[in-house]
């Protein structure tokens, strides 16, 4: 959530920011400020009443000391107290109305974010390795998995529905090896491994993410105030909800391990295979930092993901996400997109975002600075590795003519062999 002071003092800057994004009505700024004016007026009345009550209470003490009759003053105090109670309810309602609208205004974009209308205008900024070349007819990940009996989509569809899967044999070993490899790398870099709850209460989830944007793609537990998490990012953000952290303890770096659940409602793209599924496993990086250090850690979490994909010997590109493709909470975002030979295109594997204080303001997560002031922390998050998508990139880029797959050297110690498959 943006600081309301920014709207009060730099209204035009916020409107300009909305104009850079796609699908936002700039009139929302004026509506928020109108509600803010109403709230401030009620709050001023409330403060005046509280001051009046204090004066009357002081008069009562004085009259009592002088031995006088305080009944008239007591009656005044009760009358003012009743008005205060009424105004407190009005003030709370007015503030809630303002913040419910304020929370729908997206974060301020970093000045360096490229201007563009959609993902076609994201800007590639660097590459790793050359595109793999093959002297044989390549297979896609579905063909490779069916050839090696690595998954069963048909039976999963019968027992669970579409976009679910059974993983089998070497593909399970590959997934476990990737888990161990990635988490050990992050742990060595100072990221504390955390296994998060698979569900969050609605109130907590709403503080972690714009729920109006996510409610259609996440699963609600029937008859419970609980939602299955779509990513461990939200649970990691909530880990320090309403905390005040000492500057000595920053940065706090987490590597969140979780299953993730998403409806993918209405999405027809990638309906076959395991690229876009209803549940998958992921390791997520999450950082709480001092404001002046968040840009540095944004580069770090991006580089951490690159280090993983480089050791997996995968060709990828890093793209700078443009204004029209930017999520509401991010001020800057980089995506890592791996090359899928069967599709002859790059596909998203990692998103690394800096939220600055936007997310922390919703979570009421602050830190005590070296000067003793209390300020909002900055929060950052990035995929380290989404297992199903990364496995697709590995088996497609490292496939062999007979349908086997070469194991990246970094994974051999974890998986125990150099070739996957028995062809």
DSSP letters along 153-185, please?
A: HHHHHHHT-TT--EE-THHHHHHHHHHHHHHHH
State residue 207's pLDDT score: 82
Q: What pLDDT is attached to residue 179?
A: 96
Listed as ranges, residues in the chain with pLDDT below 50 are: none
CB atoms under 10 Å from CB of 359, counted, come to 28
pLDDT of amino acid 29:
97
pLDDT at position 69, please?
65
Fold classified for 119-420: BirA Bifunctional Protein; domain 2 (3.30.930)
Range 118-137 burial, b when 16+ CB lie within 10 A, else e: eeeebeeeeebeeeeeeeee
Cα dist from 140 to 194, 268, 396, 412, whole Å: 34, 18, 6, 23
Scan for tokens 């993410």, then name that residue.
209
Across 64-164, the runs of DSSP E, i.e. the strands, are 123-128, 151-152
**Phi and psi (nearest 5°) for 287?**
-130, 135
Residue length of the chain: 423
- Cβ(284)–Cβ(231) under 8 Å? yes
Give the integer Cα–Cα distance in Å for 4 and 33: 8
pLDDT score of 65: 67
The domain segmentation of the chain, as residue ranges, is 4-102, 119-420
Contact at 8 Å (CB) between 314 and 407? no
Angle between helices 387-397 and 170-188 (to 10 degrees): 110
pLDDT at 297: 98
Pairing between strand 252-261 and 166-167?
unpaired
Is CATH 1.10.287.40 the classification given to domain 4-102? yes
**Which pLDDT belongs to residue 57?**
75
């Amino acid at each position: 959530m943006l600081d309301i002071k920014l709207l009060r003092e730099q209204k035009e800057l916020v409107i300009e920011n909305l104009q850079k994004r796609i699908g936002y009505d700039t009139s929302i700024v004026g509506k928020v400020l109108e509600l803010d004016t109403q709230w401030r007026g009620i709050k001023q009345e409330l403060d005046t009443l509280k001051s009046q009550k204090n004066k009357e209470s002081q008069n009562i003490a004085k009259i009592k000391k002088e031995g006088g009759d305080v009944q008239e003053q007591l009656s005044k105090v009760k009358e003012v107290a009743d008005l205060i109670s009424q105004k407190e309810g009005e003030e709370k309602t007015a503030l809630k109305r303002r913040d419910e609208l304020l929370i729908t205004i997206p974060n301020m974009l970093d000045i360096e974010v490229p201007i563009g209308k959609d993902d076609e205008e994201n800007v590639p900024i660097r590459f790793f390795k050359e595109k793999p070349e093959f002297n044989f007819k390549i297979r896609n990940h579905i063909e490779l998995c069916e050839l090696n009996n690595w998954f069963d989509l048909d039976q999963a569809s019968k027992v669970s529905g579409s976009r679910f899967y059974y993983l089998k044999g070497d593909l399970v070993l590959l997934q476990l090896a990737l888990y161990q490899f990635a988490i050990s790398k992050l742990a060595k870099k100072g990221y504390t491994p955390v296994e998060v709850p698979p569900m969050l209460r609605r109130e907590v989830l709403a503080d972690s993410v714009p729920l109006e944007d996510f409610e259609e793609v996440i699963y609600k537990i029937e008859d419970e105030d609980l939602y299955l998490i779509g990513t461990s990012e939200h649970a990691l953000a909530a880990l320090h909800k309403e905390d005040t952290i000492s500057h000595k303890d920053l940065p706090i770096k987490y590597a969140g391990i979780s299953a993730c659940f998403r409806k993918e409602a209405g999405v027809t793209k990638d309906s076959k295979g395991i690229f876009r599924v209803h549940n998958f496993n992921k390791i997520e990086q999450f950082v709480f930092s001092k404001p002046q250090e968040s840009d540095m850690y944004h580069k770090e979490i991006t580089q951490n993901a690159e280090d993983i994909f480089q050791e997996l010997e995968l060709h990828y590109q890093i793209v700078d996400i443009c204004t029209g493709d930017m999520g509401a909470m991010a001020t800057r975002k980089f995506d890592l997109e791996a090359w899928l030979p069967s599709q002859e295109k790059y596909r998203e594997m990692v998103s690394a975002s800096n939220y600055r204080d936007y997310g922390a303001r919703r979570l009421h997560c602050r830190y005590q600075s070296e000067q003793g002031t209390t300020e909002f922390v900055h929060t950052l998050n990035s995929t380290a590795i989404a297992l199903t998508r990364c496995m697709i990139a590995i088996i497609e880029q490292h496939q062999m003519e007979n349908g086997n797959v070469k194991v990246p050297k970094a994974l051999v110690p974890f998986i125990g062999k150099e070739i996957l498959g028995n062809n």
